[in-house]
Structure 1
Amino acid sequence: MSVELFGHPFSSYTQKVLIALWADETPFEYRILEQDFPENGEVLARHSPFGLFPLLLDGETAVFESTPIIEHLQAHHPGANRWIPDGEAGRRTRFLDRFFDLHVMGNMQKPVIDAIRPEGSRDPFGVEKARKSLHIAYDWLEANLGDGPWAIGDAFTLADCAAAPALFYSDWIERIGPARPRLISYRARLLSHPIVARAVDEGRPYRHYFPLGAPDRD
């Protein structure tokens, strides 16, 4: 029996897992979380205590959070790609995965979430801090990304699965800008990767969900 993935095509963390599944050509059933499929939301609620997605069901095993899902796939459904290498390269991969999730995607999400809060409960101070923190993250990446095509060199890893949706969406919130040519080039390489491009295209019909208005570029 193939695994089941519960997620949404416009979700950054769903895209992160989809990139790994598609790149490895892992058989799976895609259970999209949309109003037209309420049964998928019901299954999610039974297995994910906070309603978090993506959720992977592998037989009796339920895994939520994108990084543990990709780790589970590597351990139990290995494919052509080694998402977390051994040794020092693996430690660097894990660190960059956390950096992209926490410091890029995490800060990107704050202005988005704030935009859908009810009037009177918004947090302009927190939004401004998040926007400034995005630029700190950009500067660190510009100074610390390696010279290879991907985050840790020639191999496309978990770190790139995290970076692709994180940088894709964060540039919508705060432009990376021409002063960071290395990071701009890395983002462009990610978006030109055929698997990443597929994830972007499958999310394209849902861009009206972006509360700040999705840009025409990308």
Structure 2
Amino acid sequence: MALKLIIGNKNYSSWSLRPWLAMTALGIPFEEILVPLDAPDFKDRVRAHSPAGKVPVLIDGEAVVWESIAILEHLAERFPEKNVWPSEPVARAHARSLATEMHGGFGALRSVAPMNLWRPVEPRTLPEAALKDVRVLVRRWGEARRRFGEGGDFLFGAFSGADAMYAPVATRIRTYAIEVDEVAAAYVEAIHAHPAFVAWKEEGLKETGVLPEDEVDWPTVKRV
């Protein structure tokens, strides 16, 4: 039975991007079901699959998994050969720690710099709390690249679940022209150049639904 992944708008839904990107990049086949975030019956349609009423939701036969980090862990168990996490134990522990920190942290940056793929690259003044988040991100990325990044352009060399978790933040760094060091800037470029991310963004740019809360220039909607 094919896996099904229920997601929201590709332009805006950072949480949906995470498992979609992981599954696509790692070659895990699935059926995509997109429920627009602004649909009047959004909650009802998603709750038909998940009690949380939020996207993403993974349906794997009788197993229903919500929350991006839980989906990644389910995929790691279900498809061990796909290397959702690094195979080396120390690197794997580090990757899981980074992914979990992303899942529960960096709220200040996320709140003032929402993922918005169609917004032109333009700087935005960030409050100190968001800048602090950026400094932490730069340290985390730099440490992972130095310790485990040999052999590839991603945090642990090859693309992994940790990169899927941080991909939406990489889009924020670019969209809002946030200054980072050379290591972080190269990582942002690597995420944007990955074929799976390119495919996601191409579809996101075709969307028409607008979410005012994710348009920092509202009531103006800027599009590339």
TM-score, structure 1 normalization: 0.76
Structure with the largest fraction of helix:
1
- Asked if structure 2 preserves the Cα contact closer than 8 Å seen for 1:56 and 1:62, the reply is yes
Q: Deviations over 1:139-180 (max 9, x none)?
A: 42364242432112x22111111121222124434x331x51
- Asked if structure 2 preserves the Cα contact closer than 8 Å seen for 1:55 and 1:65, the reply is yes
The alignment status of 1:5 with 2:24, answered yes or no, reads no
Counterpart in 2 of 1:165? 168
- Asked if structure 2 preserves the Cα contact closer than 8 Å seen for 1:176 and 1:183, the reply is no
Match of 1:85, SS state, is coil
Shift, 1:79, TM fit:
7.2
Distance 1:47 1:140, change over 3 A: same
Distance 1:36 1:14, change over 3 A: closer
Distance 1:141 1:35, change over 3 A: closer
Q: Residues of 2 paired with 1:92 and 1:172: CA distance?
A: 28
Structure 1: which amino acid aligns with 2:140?
Answer: L
Counterpart in 2 of 1:133? 132
Q: Residues of 1 paired with 2:27 and 2:145: CA distance?
A: 28
Q: Deviations over 1:1-45 (max 9, x none)?
A: 211111122311111111122123333221111279778753421
Match of 1:141, SS state, is helix
Q: Deviations over 1:79-128 (max 9, x none)?
A: 76301134111101111212333444x33332268xxxxxxxxxxxxx83
Match of 1:155, SS state, is coil
Q: Structure 1 runs of 4+ off > 4 angstroms?
A: 35-41, 213-217
5 Å matches for 1:49-68?
Answer: 49-68=51-70
TM-score, structure 2 normalization: 0.74
Structure 2: which amino acid aligns with 1:133?
Answer: K
Given candidates 212, 215, 218, the residue that maps to 2:216 is 212
5 Å matches for 1:1-218?
Answer: 1-8=1-8, 9-10=10-11, 11-34=13-36, 41-76=43-78, 78=79, 81-86=82-87, 87-104=89-106, 106-111=107-112, 128=127, 130-141=129-140, 143-147=142-146, 148=149, 149-152=153-156, 154-173=157-176, 175-177=177-179, 180-206=181-207, 208-209=210-211, 210-213=214-217
Q: Residues of 2 paired with 1:58 and 1:181: CA distance?
A: 40
- Asked if structure 2 preserves the Cα contact closer than 8 Å seen for 1:26 and 1:79, the reply is no
Counterpart in 2 of 1:116? none
Structure 2: which amino acid aligns with 1:128?
Answer: P
**Identity rate, percent:** 23
Match of 1:146, SS state, is helix
Q: How many residues align?
A: 199
Distance 1:143 1:31, change over 3 A: closer
Unmatched 5+ stretches in structure 2: 115-125
Q: Residues of 2 paired with 1:68 and 1:170: CA distance?
A: 25
Q: Residues of 2 paired with 1:97 and 1:133: CA distance?
A: 18
Structure 2: which amino acid aligns with 1:108?
Answer: L
Q: Residues of 1 paired with 2:21 and 2:138: CA distance?
A: 26
Q: Which range is displaced more, 198-207 or 29-38?
A: 29-38
Q: Residues of 1 paired with 2:133 and 2:200: CA distance?
A: 23
